[in-house]
Amino acid sequence: MNARHSEGTATPPASGERSMREVRIVAGVTGPIADPRVLCPVRDVLDRLGDAWSVLVILRLGDGAMRFNALKRAVGAISQRMLTVTLRSLERDGLVTRTVFPTNPPQVEYALTELGASLAGPIGALADWAVTHRDRITSERRRYDAGETDRSSP
């Protein structure tokens, strides 16, 4: 057999949870999208947080202001270039402040703005979901990879 069944048709609105439909409306996804980069608030945020390092940097700055190299060590495998690029873009969006102390050698401190700190909510929601469901996803993934022959053999 080639078809995989389950759920049939619907999206269960779940018990006390928010409906995906409601979220779609809030997200402004009501018609076809011309360009994935425009007109969708959720995509805006994901463009902002979806890159490899932004969230890791934000989480580190959540503990308080840090200087460039300390931040680099704390984050880990990030390259100097990417830390610079990431911080610039976070600064541009008003999520992070950059303060230069004209000492010698120079000291530069980065810190979350209130706007940046307010991301704790959304990021926390993602973290909770991830922690709750990661085992499930891992097993689903294994199952899928195991039954791969279903797709090619009749």
Partner DNA sequence: CGGCATCCTCTAGGATACTG
Partner DNA sequence: CAGTATCCTAGAGGATGCCG
Read off φ and ψ for residue 48, nearest 5 degrees: -75, -45
Piece in contact with DNA (CB under 7 A), picked from 25-33, 99-107, 113-121, 127-135: 99-107
Build a one-symbol-per-residue string for 49-88: x at contacts with DNA by CB under 7 A, - elsewhere.
--xxx-------------xxxx------xxxxxx-xx-xx
* CB atoms inside a 10 Å sphere around CB 98: 13
111 CB-contact burial (10 Å; exposed 0-12 / middle 13-18 / buried 19+): middle
For residues 50-69, which are near its own copies according to CB under 8 A? 50-53, 55-56, 58-65
Q: Which does residue 120 touch among DNA, its own copies, none (CB within 5 to 8 A, set by kind)?
A: its own copies
C-alpha to C-alpha distance for 20 and 1, rounded to whole angstroms: 31
Binding mask 16-55 for its own copies (x = CB under 8 A): -xxxxxxxx-xxxx-xxxxxx---xxxxxxx--xxxxx-x
DSSP string, 86-100: HHHHHHHTTSEEEEE
Q: How far is the CB of 74 from DNA (least distance, A)?
A: 12
Site for DNA in 103-122 (CB under 7 A): 105-108
| Helices 120-146, 54-61: crossing angle, 10 deg rounding | 140
Interface residue list for DNA (CB under 7 A): 36, 51-53, 67-70, 77-82, 84-85, 87-88, 98, 105-108, 151
